[in-house]
Structure 1
Amino acid sequence: MRGWRTIPALKGYRVALMYPKKPAPQLTVSMVHEGCTNRPFFTIQARNHLQAANDPGLEQLGSWDPLVNTHGEQLVGVDIGRLMHWMAHGARPSLGVARLFGLAGVLPIHPSSELEALRLGRRLSAAASVKATGGGGGAAGGR
């Protein structure tokens, strides 16, 4: 069985109970929610994948403000050099980080982003065809 210690750590001892080995730490680059309920704000951190969400990460790499400002922009600030440093040392980006940096052009575009764009395009073309034919399916007067 993988992950379970069946051989005693010290010579001359026997294993009475089987305890699981502690998993090896894996580095991830993930987003940590720092804002309030109605005002989200995320910091992008290099961290151990087993750390709790409220524990400080190994290094803060940047931040992301998903709410649109007065100019219609979402603000993202990232130290790209440090991001590439952690990824060169084996850190894996989380799904949210991979999608965000794929759209920003830092990483390859994530397949879920392409799938979401395809579905949105189909939905918009279906809505445009319904609008062009004049159909709506509802009564003329409405309520």
Structure 2
Amino acid sequence: MALKIRLARGGSKKRPYYQVVVADARSPRDGRFLEKVGSWNPMLAKDDAKRVELNNERIQHWLDNGAQPTDRVLRFLAEAGLAKRDARNNPEKAKPGKKALERAAEAKQKAEDAAAAAAE
């Protein structure tokens, strides 16, 4: 059985509250789970101590037994010092595409032509 440490959504509409749970990977997001090991309240301030609450002992037990955390939960675990999360960065994402480079080159050429015409 593949186990995941993931978030299960609770709370009302537009007021989310999440439980950190250990569940079978095939079960639905808010469905059956094996154990609740923490909570996350995104409505609280980022520096609030009650924003993320984790049961470190139980989480470590499940990690030792092969449970895989999701990316968001892995962020929480990295902050708590329970797991290591590799920094993800895609430097290619910020670069402009081919069409944008062509438009920039065309605009630059027009500006140079206008400056040359004004100089004459």
TM over 0.5: yes
Give the aligned partner of residue 24 of structure 2. 48
What are the ranges of 5 or more consecutive residues in structure 2 without an aligned counterpart?
92-120
Give the structure, 1 or 2, with the largest relative contact order (CA under 8 Å, sep 6 or more). Answer: 2
Matches within 5 A, 1:1-143: 25-69=1-45, 72-73=47-48, 75-112=51-88, 115=89
Q: TM-score under structure 1 normalisation? A: 0.55
Local SS of the residue matching 1:99 = helix
What letter matches 1:82 in structure 2?
R
The alpha carbon displacement at 1:29 in A equals 0.4
- Structure with higher strand content: 2
Give the aligned partner of residue 107 of structure 2. none
What letter matches 1:30 in structure 2?
R
User: Is contact 1:45–1:58 with CA below 8 Å preserved after alignment?
Assistant: yes
The alpha carbon displacement at 1:75 in A equals 1.4
What letter matches 2:65 in structure 1?
H
Local SS of the residue matching 1:60 = strand
The alpha carbon displacement at 1:66 in A equals 1.1
The alpha carbon displacement at 1:72 in A equals 4.8
What's the RMSD between the two structures over aligned residues? 2.3
The alpha carbon displacement at 1:88 in A equals 0.5
Describe the superposition over 1:91-126 as per-residue Cα deviations: whole angstroms up to 9, x where unpaired. 0001110122223332213423xx39x9xxxxxxxx
- Structure with higher helix content: 2
